[in-house]
Amino acid sequence: MLSIVVLYSFAYLLLLSGSLFLFILARRLLVESQERKDLRVFLEMERELLEVLTAPSPSRAAVEFARKHGSRIRVLKRLLVAYREALAGQALEPLKVIFERTIRARCLRDLRSRWLATRLQNVRLFVDFSRPEEAVHLVKLLQDKPIVRLAALNALTGIASRDTLAVIFELFERDPAPNFYAYSNVLNSLGQRIEPFLRASLRKPLPADKHALLIEMAGRLLLRGLYPDIVRFAASPDKELRIRAARTLGRLLVPGSTRVLSGLAADPAWEVQAQAIRSLGNLQDWRTIPLLVKALFSPTWHVRYNAGYGLAAFGIVGVLQLQEISRQKEDRFAADMAAMVLDSLILTGGAA
Protein backbone atom coordinates (compact mmCIF):
# COMPACT_ATOMS: atom_id res chain seq x y z
CA MET A 1 0.00 0.00 0.00
CA LEU A 2 2.74 2.42 1.09
CA SER A 3 4.78 1.54 -1.99
CA ILE A 4 1.86 2.43 -4.25
CA VAL A 5 1.33 5.76 -2.47
CA VAL A 6 5.01 6.56 -2.80
CA LEU A 7 5.03 5.49 -6.46
CA TYR A 8 2.06 7.70 -7.26
CA SER A 9 3.62 10.56 -5.31
CA PHE A 10 6.77 10.14 -7.35
CA ALA A 11 4.89 10.24 -10.65
CA TYR A 12 2.83 13.21 -9.50
CA LEU A 13 5.83 15.17 -8.27
CA LEU A 14 7.82 14.39 -11.40
CA LEU A 15 4.95 15.73 -13.51
CA LEU A 16 4.47 18.75 -11.28
CA SER A 17 8.17 19.64 -11.17
CA GLY A 18 8.50 19.17 -14.93
CA SER A 19 5.47 21.37 -15.57
CA LEU A 20 6.69 24.05 -13.22
CA PHE A 21 10.12 24.01 -14.83
CA LEU A 22 8.58 24.38 -18.29
CA PHE A 23 6.26 27.10 -17.00
CA ILE A 24 9.20 29.10 -15.62
CA LEU A 25 11.10 28.79 -18.89
CA ALA A 26 8.08 29.56 -21.07
CA ARG A 27 7.11 32.51 -18.87
CA ARG A 28 10.63 33.89 -19.02
CA LEU A 29 10.69 33.65 -22.82
CA LEU A 30 7.22 35.18 -23.11
CA VAL A 31 8.01 38.02 -20.71
CA GLU A 32 11.23 38.77 -22.54
CA SER A 33 9.52 38.84 -25.91
CA GLN A 34 6.70 41.00 -24.50
CA GLU A 35 9.24 43.40 -22.98
CA ARG A 36 11.07 43.69 -26.31
CA LYS A 37 7.79 44.42 -28.08
CA ASP A 38 6.70 46.91 -25.41
CA LEU A 39 10.04 48.70 -25.62
CA ARG A 40 9.69 49.04 -29.38
CA VAL A 41 6.16 50.44 -28.99
CA PHE A 42 7.29 52.66 -26.11
CA LEU A 43 10.09 54.20 -28.16
CA GLU A 44 7.76 54.75 -31.10
CA MET A 45 5.12 56.36 -28.86
CA GLU A 46 7.74 58.42 -27.05
CA ARG A 47 8.94 59.87 -30.36
CA GLU A 48 5.38 60.83 -31.24
CA LEU A 49 4.71 62.22 -27.76
CA LEU A 50 7.73 64.50 -28.07
CA GLU A 51 6.26 65.74 -31.35
CA VAL A 52 2.96 66.36 -29.52
CA LEU A 53 4.68 68.34 -26.77
CA THR A 54 6.49 70.53 -29.27
CA ALA A 55 3.58 70.92 -31.71
CA PRO A 56 2.11 74.43 -32.34
CA SER A 57 -1.18 73.23 -30.82
CA PRO A 58 -0.25 70.55 -28.26
CA SER A 59 -3.84 69.88 -27.17
CA ARG A 60 -5.01 69.14 -30.70
CA ALA A 61 -1.96 66.96 -31.34
CA ALA A 62 -2.65 65.18 -28.03
CA VAL A 63 -6.19 64.31 -29.17
CA GLU A 64 -4.77 62.83 -32.34
CA PHE A 65 -2.14 60.92 -30.33
CA ALA A 66 -4.84 59.54 -27.99
CA ARG A 67 -6.96 58.41 -30.94
CA LYS A 68 -3.99 56.60 -32.50
CA HIS A 69 -2.65 54.89 -29.37
CA GLY A 70 -5.79 54.47 -27.26
CA SER A 71 -5.69 50.69 -27.66
CA ARG A 72 -2.13 50.28 -26.30
CA ILE A 73 -3.11 51.00 -22.71
CA ARG A 74 -0.31 49.15 -20.90
CA VAL A 75 2.54 50.91 -22.68
CA LEU A 76 0.64 54.20 -22.73
CA LYS A 77 0.33 54.12 -18.92
CA ARG A 78 4.07 53.58 -18.59
CA LEU A 79 4.82 56.40 -20.97
CA LEU A 80 2.47 58.85 -19.24
CA VAL A 81 3.82 57.98 -15.78
CA ALA A 82 7.41 58.36 -17.01
CA TYR A 83 6.72 61.76 -18.54
CA ARG A 84 4.67 62.88 -15.54
CA GLU A 85 7.95 62.77 -13.62
CA ALA A 86 9.76 64.91 -16.16
CA LEU A 87 7.13 67.59 -16.87
CA ALA A 88 5.42 70.23 -14.78
CA GLY A 89 2.89 73.04 -15.07
CA GLN A 90 1.35 73.85 -18.45
CA ALA A 91 3.53 71.24 -20.18
CA LEU A 92 1.45 68.58 -18.43
CA GLU A 93 -1.73 69.63 -20.24
CA PRO A 94 -1.24 67.38 -23.31
CA LEU A 95 -0.63 64.40 -20.99
CA LYS A 96 -3.88 65.15 -19.17
CA VAL A 97 -5.72 65.30 -22.49
CA ILE A 98 -4.28 61.94 -23.51
CA PHE A 99 -5.18 60.47 -20.10
CA GLU A 100 -8.75 61.76 -20.28
CA ARG A 101 -9.29 60.39 -23.77
CA THR A 102 -7.77 56.97 -23.20
CA ILE A 103 -7.37 55.78 -19.60
CA ARG A 104 -9.64 57.97 -17.44
CA ALA A 105 -12.86 55.98 -17.88
CA ARG A 106 -11.17 52.69 -17.04
CA CYS A 107 -9.30 54.30 -14.17
CA LEU A 108 -12.52 55.64 -12.64
CA ARG A 109 -14.13 52.21 -12.98
CA ASP A 110 -11.13 50.57 -11.33
CA LEU A 111 -11.25 53.03 -8.42
CA ARG A 112 -14.37 51.08 -7.41
CA SER A 113 -12.74 47.67 -7.90
CA ARG A 114 -13.19 45.11 -5.16
CA TRP A 115 -9.44 44.42 -5.25
CA LEU A 116 -7.41 46.65 -2.97
CA ALA A 117 -4.29 46.57 -5.16
CA THR A 118 -6.31 47.63 -8.22
CA ARG A 119 -7.87 50.54 -6.33
CA LEU A 120 -4.49 51.58 -5.03
CA GLN A 121 -2.86 51.39 -8.47
CA ASN A 122 -5.56 53.55 -9.98
CA VAL A 123 -5.58 56.15 -7.21
CA ARG A 124 -1.90 56.63 -7.88
CA LEU A 125 -2.51 56.97 -11.61
CA PHE A 126 -5.43 59.29 -11.01
CA VAL A 127 -3.26 61.46 -8.74
CA ASP A 128 -1.00 62.40 -11.57
CA PHE A 129 -3.54 63.40 -14.17
CA SER A 130 -6.78 64.39 -12.43
CA ARG A 131 -8.19 67.93 -12.25
CA PRO A 132 -9.44 69.73 -9.10
CA GLU A 133 -13.09 69.26 -10.03
CA GLU A 134 -12.55 65.49 -10.01
CA ALA A 135 -11.68 65.43 -6.30
CA VAL A 136 -15.09 63.98 -5.56
CA HIS A 137 -13.94 60.57 -6.86
CA LEU A 138 -11.05 60.59 -4.40
CA VAL A 139 -13.10 61.83 -1.46
CA LYS A 140 -15.15 58.63 -1.72
CA LEU A 141 -11.97 56.64 -1.14
CA LEU A 142 -11.34 58.35 2.18
CA GLN A 143 -13.51 55.71 3.80
CA ASP A 144 -11.43 52.90 2.26
CA LYS A 145 -8.71 50.79 3.88
CA PRO A 146 -5.81 52.76 5.44
CA ILE A 147 -3.38 52.31 2.57
CA VAL A 148 -5.94 53.44 -0.04
CA ARG A 149 -7.05 56.26 2.24
CA LEU A 150 -3.45 57.41 2.47
CA ALA A 151 -3.03 57.36 -1.31
CA ALA A 152 -6.33 59.23 -1.74
CA LEU A 153 -5.25 61.83 0.80
CA ASN A 154 -1.97 62.29 -1.00
CA ALA A 155 -3.87 62.66 -4.24
CA LEU A 156 -6.14 65.27 -2.73
CA THR A 157 -3.18 67.37 -1.66
CA GLY A 158 -2.21 67.60 -5.32
CA ILE A 159 -5.57 69.11 -6.30
CA ALA A 160 -6.48 70.77 -3.03
CA SER A 161 -9.30 73.29 -3.06
CA ARG A 162 -10.92 74.90 -0.01
CA ASP A 163 -13.52 72.14 0.03
CA THR A 164 -10.99 69.32 -0.08
CA LEU A 165 -9.01 70.95 2.73
CA ALA A 166 -12.13 70.95 4.86
CA VAL A 167 -12.66 67.28 4.02
CA ILE A 168 -9.08 66.41 4.98
CA PHE A 169 -9.32 68.15 8.35
CA GLU A 170 -12.73 66.68 9.08
CA LEU A 171 -11.39 63.23 8.29
CA PHE A 172 -8.39 63.79 10.53
CA GLU A 173 -10.57 64.90 13.44
CA ARG A 174 -12.89 61.91 13.06
CA ASP A 175 -10.26 59.29 12.21
CA PRO A 176 -10.30 56.74 15.08
CA ALA A 177 -6.85 55.36 14.26
CA PRO A 178 -4.99 58.02 12.30
CA ASN A 179 -1.65 57.32 10.65
CA PHE A 180 0.09 60.41 12.01
CA TYR A 181 3.01 60.15 9.65
CA ALA A 182 0.69 60.08 6.67
CA TYR A 183 -1.33 63.03 7.91
CA SER A 184 1.81 64.91 8.73
CA ASN A 185 3.06 64.36 5.20
CA VAL A 186 -0.28 65.39 3.73
CA LEU A 187 -0.61 68.55 5.84
CA ASN A 188 2.97 69.47 5.12
CA SER A 189 2.40 69.20 1.37
CA LEU A 190 -0.61 71.49 1.67
CA GLY A 191 1.55 74.29 3.02
CA GLN A 192 0.53 77.51 4.72
CA ARG A 193 -2.99 77.59 3.27
CA ILE A 194 -4.06 75.20 6.06
CA GLU A 195 -3.66 77.90 8.73
CA PRO A 196 -7.40 78.68 9.26
CA PHE A 197 -8.27 74.99 9.41
CA LEU A 198 -5.38 74.28 11.77
CA ARG A 199 -6.48 77.12 14.06
CA ALA A 200 -10.03 75.81 14.14
CA SER A 201 -8.86 72.26 14.94
CA LEU A 202 -6.45 73.45 17.66
CA ARG A 203 -9.36 75.10 19.41
CA LYS A 204 -11.48 71.95 19.37
CA PRO A 205 -11.32 69.34 22.15
CA LEU A 206 -9.35 66.63 20.34
CA PRO A 207 -7.26 63.75 21.75
CA ALA A 208 -3.76 64.80 22.84
CA ASP A 209 -1.99 62.92 20.04
CA LYS A 210 -4.02 64.78 17.40
CA HIS A 211 -3.31 68.13 19.02
CA ALA A 212 0.36 67.14 19.18
CA LEU A 213 0.47 66.70 15.40
CA LEU A 214 -1.33 69.98 14.77
CA ILE A 215 1.10 71.86 17.03
CA GLU A 216 3.99 70.22 15.22
CA MET A 217 2.59 71.27 11.85
CA ALA A 218 2.26 74.87 13.00
CA GLY A 219 5.99 74.89 13.67
CA ARG A 220 6.97 73.03 10.56
CA LEU A 221 4.99 75.35 8.30
CA LEU A 222 6.07 78.45 10.27
CA LEU A 223 2.49 79.57 10.92
CA ARG A 224 3.33 82.46 13.24
CA GLY A 225 -0.32 83.54 13.29
CA LEU A 226 -0.99 80.51 15.49
CA TYR A 227 1.44 81.69 18.20
CA PRO A 228 -1.29 82.49 20.80
CA ASP A 229 -2.85 79.03 20.29
CA ILE A 230 0.50 77.28 20.69
CA VAL A 231 1.43 79.20 23.86
CA ARG A 232 -1.77 77.88 25.42
CA PHE A 233 -0.39 74.34 25.18
CA ALA A 234 2.79 75.27 27.08
CA ALA A 235 0.70 75.04 30.25
CA SER A 236 -0.96 71.75 29.27
CA PRO A 237 -0.90 68.96 31.87
CA ASP A 238 0.09 66.57 29.06
CA LYS A 239 3.90 66.27 28.89
CA GLU A 240 3.87 65.41 25.16
CA LEU A 241 1.93 68.58 24.36
CA ARG A 242 4.36 70.71 26.36
CA ILE A 243 7.26 69.14 24.44
CA ARG A 244 5.57 69.89 21.12
CA ALA A 245 4.75 73.45 22.19
CA ALA A 246 8.39 74.01 23.20
CA ARG A 247 9.62 72.64 19.87
CA THR A 248 7.16 74.70 17.84
CA LEU A 249 8.02 77.90 19.71
CA GLY A 250 11.65 77.23 18.85
CA ARG A 251 10.69 77.13 15.20
CA LEU A 252 8.32 80.07 15.09
CA LEU A 253 11.00 82.31 16.65
CA VAL A 254 8.51 84.85 17.98
CA PRO A 255 10.53 87.16 20.31
CA GLY A 256 7.95 86.99 23.09
CA SER A 257 8.37 83.23 23.45
CA THR A 258 11.64 83.58 25.42
CA ARG A 259 9.67 83.96 28.64
CA VAL A 260 7.47 80.91 27.94
CA LEU A 261 10.47 78.80 26.98
CA SER A 262 12.44 79.89 30.05
CA GLY A 263 9.50 78.64 32.11
CA LEU A 264 9.48 75.34 30.25
CA ALA A 265 13.24 75.00 30.80
CA ALA A 266 12.42 74.56 34.50
CA ASP A 267 9.73 71.97 33.80
CA PRO A 268 9.80 68.88 36.07
CA ALA A 269 10.07 66.58 33.00
CA TRP A 270 13.56 66.41 31.53
CA GLU A 271 12.15 65.84 28.04
CA VAL A 272 10.38 69.22 28.20
CA GLN A 273 13.51 70.86 29.62
CA ALA A 274 15.66 69.44 26.83
CA GLN A 275 13.28 70.66 24.13
CA ALA A 276 12.90 74.10 25.72
CA ILE A 277 16.69 74.49 25.93
CA ARG A 278 17.04 73.53 22.29
CA SER A 279 14.39 76.07 21.31
CA LEU A 280 16.03 78.77 23.42
CA GLY A 281 19.22 78.03 21.49
CA ASN A 282 17.30 78.59 18.24
CA LEU A 283 15.90 81.88 19.49
CA GLN A 284 19.41 83.24 20.11
CA ASP A 285 18.29 85.73 22.69
CA TRP A 286 21.46 86.84 24.47
CA ARG A 287 19.64 87.12 27.76
CA THR A 288 19.22 83.32 27.81
CA ILE A 289 22.96 82.50 27.67
CA PRO A 290 23.23 82.07 31.48
CA LEU A 291 20.26 79.70 31.34
CA LEU A 292 21.95 77.61 28.63
CA VAL A 293 25.23 77.60 30.57
CA LYS A 294 23.35 76.36 33.64
CA ALA A 295 21.63 73.69 31.53
CA LEU A 296 25.03 72.43 30.38
CA PHE A 297 25.56 71.27 33.97
CA SER A 298 22.23 69.41 34.03
CA PRO A 299 22.36 65.78 35.22
CA THR A 300 20.42 64.78 32.04
CA TRP A 301 22.45 63.99 28.96
CA HIS A 302 19.85 65.30 26.50
CA VAL A 303 19.60 68.66 28.30
CA ARG A 304 23.39 69.02 28.29
CA TYR A 305 23.55 68.06 24.64
CA ASN A 306 20.94 70.61 23.57
CA ALA A 307 22.46 73.29 25.78
CA GLY A 308 25.87 72.65 24.20
CA TYR A 309 24.58 73.02 20.66
CA GLY A 310 22.34 75.90 21.75
CA LEU A 311 25.40 77.81 22.95
CA ALA A 312 27.27 76.93 19.77
CA ALA A 313 24.46 78.56 17.77
CA PHE A 314 25.35 81.93 19.33
CA GLY A 315 28.64 81.96 17.44
CA ILE A 316 31.83 83.27 19.02
CA VAL A 317 30.15 84.24 22.32
CA GLY A 318 28.76 80.72 22.76
CA VAL A 319 32.04 79.13 21.65
CA LEU A 320 33.94 81.12 24.30
CA GLN A 321 31.48 79.90 26.94
CA LEU A 322 31.95 76.33 25.74
CA GLN A 323 35.73 76.66 25.84
CA GLU A 324 35.53 77.89 29.40
CA ILE A 325 33.27 75.02 30.47
CA SER A 326 35.45 72.47 28.68
CA ARG A 327 38.43 73.64 30.76
CA GLN A 328 36.74 73.55 34.17
CA LYS A 329 37.31 70.47 36.34
CA GLU A 330 34.30 70.48 38.70
CA ASP A 331 31.84 68.80 36.34
CA ARG A 332 33.45 66.30 33.99
CA PHE A 333 30.19 65.60 32.15
CA ALA A 334 29.66 69.28 31.29
CA ALA A 335 33.32 69.57 30.25
CA ASP A 336 33.06 66.49 28.00
CA MET A 337 29.89 67.76 26.36
CA ALA A 338 31.39 71.19 25.72
CA ALA A 339 34.50 69.54 24.26
CA MET A 340 32.38 67.36 21.98
CA VAL A 341 30.37 70.31 20.66
CA LEU A 342 33.55 72.30 20.01
CA ASP A 343 35.07 69.27 18.32
CA SER A 344 32.10 68.76 16.03
CA LEU A 345 32.14 72.46 15.10
CA ILE A 346 35.74 72.06 13.98
CA LEU A 347 35.33 68.72 12.21
CA THR A 348 32.17 68.07 10.26
CA GLY A 349 29.30 69.85 11.89
CA GLY A 350 27.50 66.57 12.54
CA ALA A 351 26.40 63.62 10.45
CA ALA A 352 23.97 63.97 7.56
Partner 1 sequence: MTDLLRLLDTGVEYLILAYFLLLNTFYFLFNILSLAGILRYRRMITFVRFGEIFRMPIVKPVSVIVPAFNEGPGIVQSIRSLLSLRYPVFEVVVVNDGSTDSTLAQLVEAFDLRPSKAVFRRSIPTLPIRGIYRSAVQPKLVVIDKVNGKKADAMNAGLNISRYPLFCAVDGDSILEKDALLKVVRPFLEDPERTIGAGGIIRLSNGCVVREGQVTAVGIPKNWIARFQILEYLRAFLGGRLGMSMMRSTLIVSGAFGIFRKDVAMACGGYRAASITEDMDLVIRMQKHMHEQKRPYRIQYIPDPICWTEAPEDLRVLARQRSRWHRGLIQTLVRFRRMLFNPRYGAAGLFAMPFYAVFEMAGPYIECLGYLLFLSHLVLGQVNYPFAVTFFFVAVFYGTFVSLLAILLEELSAHRYPKVKDILTLTAAGILENLFYRQYLSVVRAWSLVDYLKGKNEWGAMEKRGFAKAGQTP
Residues that bind partner 1 (CB under 8 A): 2-3, 6-7, 9-10, 13-14, 16-17, 20-21, 23-25, 27-29, 77, 81, 85, 117-118, 120-121, 124-125, 128, 146-147, 150, 179-182, 184-185, 188-189, 220, 301, 305, 336-337, 339-340, 342-344, 347-352
3 state DSSP class of 297: coil
Q: How far is the CB of 203 from partner 1 (least distance, A)?
A: 24
Nearer to partner 1, 28 or 67 (CB): 28
Nearer to partner 1, 81 or 139 (CB): 81
Nearer to partner 1, 41 or 339 (CB): 339
Q: Give the distance, in angstroms, between the CA of residue 271 and the centroid of all CA atoms in the same chain.
A: 25
Nearer to partner 1, 221 or 231 (CB): 221
Cβ pair 247, 275 in contact under 8 A: yes
Count helices and strands in the chain by DSSP H and E runs: 20, 0
Q: Which of 281, 256, 252, 277 is nearest to 267 (CA)?
A: 277
Q: How far is the CB of 64 from partner 1 (least distance, A)?
A: 26
Q: How far is the CB of 34 from partner 1 (least distance, A)?
A: 13
Q: How far is the CB of 256 from partner 1 (least distance, A)?
A: 27
Q: Cα(274)–Cα(300) distance, rounded to whole angstroms?
A: 8
Q: How far is the CB of 260 from partner 1 (least distance, A)?
A: 25
User: Going by C-beta distance under 8 Å and a sequence separation of 6 or more, which residues neighbour residue 303?
Assistant: 270, 273, 274, 277, 295
Nearer to partner 1, 18 or 263 (CB): 18
Nearer to partner 1, 48 or 336 (CB): 336
Q: Cα(15)–Cα(302) distance, rounded to whole angstroms?
A: 65
Q: How far is the CB of 300 from partner 1 (least distance, A)?
A: 10
How distant, in Å, are the alpha carbons of 27, 72, 207, 270 from that of 32? 8, 18, 54, 61
Q: What is the DSSP string of 44-58?
A: HHHHHHHHHHTSSSH
